[in-house]
Chains A and B, each alone.
Chain A
Amino acid sequence: MKVLIPSSLRSYTQHSEAEASGATLAAVLADLDRAYPGIRFRMVDEQSRIRRHIRIFVNGDQVRDLSQPLRATDEVVIVQALSGG
């Protein structure tokens, strides 16, 4: 599926869009990390919590649970939320 990558993570992907697959959000992020090593840990901490200033939307709805099931046709958008100056 198509994953939109925020500017802060394009040092990993080089592009604003990446392709990844998986049956859950966790699996998609793991697949992304295989293609772009290190990218997952910048978004998800070692206790598998989405980091404070990272937001993930699936088809326009915010997802907070990494076990959320996904379909191949879904669109995943990763955005960076406000973090101050």
Chain B
Amino acid sequence: MAHKIRKRTARPQGAASRTRRAPRSQPARRVLVLVATRKGAWLYHGDATRKTWRVDGPHFLGHIISHLVLDPRDGRTLLAAAKTGHLGPTVFRSTDLGRTWKEAARPPAFAPAPAGENGRAVDHTFWLTPGHSAEPNTWYAGTSPQGLFRSEDGGVTWNPFSSINDDPRYRAWMGTVQDGTPDGPKLHSIIVDPRDSRHLYFAMSGGGVHESVDGGRTFTPIVKGLEVVEGFDATNISFHDPHCVRLCPSNPDRLYQQNHCGIYRLDRPSNEWVRIGKNMPKRVGDVGFPLVVHPRDADTAWVFPMDASTVWPRTSPEGIPAVYVTRNGGKTWQRLDSGMPERQGWWTVKRQAMTADAQDPVGLYFGTTSGELWTSRDEGRRWACIARHLPEIYAVEAAELA
């Protein structure tokens, strides 16, 4: 290969000036990292410096845990989206940080189909999003096949939400099981605007990005500017494959997206996504699964690029893993790989498996499908592995404990 990826030896620009700043003086809040895997869930309790981690797990050993999320509104309610190879999907709930778990009384499930029709069944709940801060106990869930569900009692009972689950137009955009990701088409990236509980977004793989301004009563596609696989028609919503969409907490008018076809930014009220991934190094490309936004700086976002050549290995390009960061809204990108393997690192990081905490400097966390958990305490400048030999990691979330 003519151009080999070279590991950075110099400190990345941009990251340096930011991380040199003194941490804010505030009582240290402990970080809890929630790791969902194909064979169970693990909780990692950080010390005040985020240097050492106490492992608590496995929880639900043998269960497929697609997502494990702590309610930021009460700081103690955990929801876990679970199933096994044999058993149907359900949601477990803990109000004591995982010491005890109780199953949802009514997990997400589609409405029974009229007699004679072949109705859909939830294969697994894939995505969990806590509701608006003014709506305590409200949660949203996205499923495979694509469905949107809501709970108003902290995750105990779930109901189909909005019309999209049965809307013929949305059903066409969702496609069939064959149109989705290998383990089923998914509804994900459910986002609640922190300024307005009635302003919602979600995304589907496949099936595009959608927005509601009426509390979920109606949704509208928002795909202008997004590319689709060459040869397909971008005006057909079902050909759009957003992998991960994030809203910037510090500027809720800005969204970033990692798509099957590139990295994008959207600044509302515009409806047109801009492909900021074109500014990534050509030999790395701009395909990946996760995207992470900075808790306080809407110009900063991190991605984990993967190899999308030939048969789509979906591993780190050339086997040299790296995170890339932009500090200017996607105009330029810097490679962040200090501490990661310098060769033979064939990692895949799934769309929910990379996240940030809210500390200063920001801590970053990602989990690989090969079962390694990596962290950075300085916004990606240096990385360390804090767990290996875990099952395939599906999701990583960072929560803060008082």
Binding site for B on A (CB under 8 A): 6, 8-9, 37-38, 41-49, 51, 53-54, 80-81, 83-84
B105 to A38, Cβ gap below 8 A?
Answer: yes
Known: A46-B112, A47-B112, A48-B112. A8 touches B86 (CB 8 A): yes
A84, B105: Cα distance in complex, Å:
28
B90 to A41, Cβ gap below 8 A?
Answer: yes
A38 to B103, Cβ gap below 8 A?
Answer: yes
A44, B86: Cα distance in complex, Å:
11
A42 to B88, Cβ gap below 8 A?
Answer: yes
B85 to A46, Cβ gap below 8 A?
Answer: no
Q: Which residues of A are found within 8 Å of B86, using beta-carbon distances?
A: 6, 8, 51, 53-54, 80-81, 83
A47 to B88, Cβ gap below 8 A?
Answer: no
A46 to B90, Cβ gap below 8 A?
Answer: no
Known: A37-B105, A38-B103. A43 touches B119 (CB 8 A): no
Beyond A42-B87, A42-B90, A45-B109, 6 extra complex contacts between A and B, CB < 8 Å: A8-B87, A45-B88, A47-B120, A49-B121, A53-B85, A83-B84
A51 to B88, Cβ gap below 8 A?
Answer: yes
Q: Which residue of A lies closest to B110 (CB)?
A: A46
Interface positions of B from 99 to 117, Cβ below 8 Å from A = 103-105, 107, 109-113
B87 to A46, Cβ gap below 8 A?
Answer: no
A44, B121: Cα distance in complex, Å:
10
Q: Which residues of B are found within 8 Å of A49, using beta-carbon distances?
A: 121
Q: Which residues of B are found within 8 Å of A45, using beta-carbon distances?
A: 88, 109, 121-122
- For B76-95 the 0/1 string (1 means CB < 8 A from A) is 00000000111110100000
Q: Which residues of B are found within 8 Å of A37, using beta-carbon distances?
A: 103, 105
Known: A8-B86, A83-B86. A41 touches B107 (CB 8 A): yes
A16, B151: Cα distance in complex, Å:
33
A53, B113: Cα distance in complex, Å:
22
A38, B93: Cα distance in complex, Å:
14
Known: A46-B112, A46-B119. A51 touches B105 (CB 8 A): no
Q: Which residues of B are found within 8 Å of A51, using beta-carbon distances?
A: 86-88
A43 to B88, Cβ gap below 8 A?
Answer: yes
A sample of 13 inter-chain contacts (CB < 8 A) reads A9-B87, A41-B90, A42-B90, A45-B121, A46-B119, A47-B110, A47-B112, A47-B113, A47-B118, A47-B120, A80-B87, A83-B84, A84-B85
A29, B86: Cα distance in complex, Å:
17
Interface positions of B from 106 to 156, Cβ below 8 Å from A = 107, 109-113, 118-122
Q: Which residue of B lies closest to A53 (CB)?
A: B86
A81, B86: Cα distance in complex, Å:
7
Q: Which residues of A are found within 8 Å of B85, using beta-carbon distances?
A: 53, 83-84
- Minimum-distance CB pairs A-B, first 10: A83-B85, A45-B121, A46-B109, A80-B86, A42-B87, A47-B119, A53-B86, A42-B88, A38-B103, A83-B86
**B384 CB, nearest partner CB in chain A, Å:** 30
Q: Which residues of A are found within 8 Å of B119, using beta-carbon distances?
A: 46-47
**B40 CB, nearest partner CB in chain A, Å:** 14
A6, B88: Cα distance in complex, Å:
14
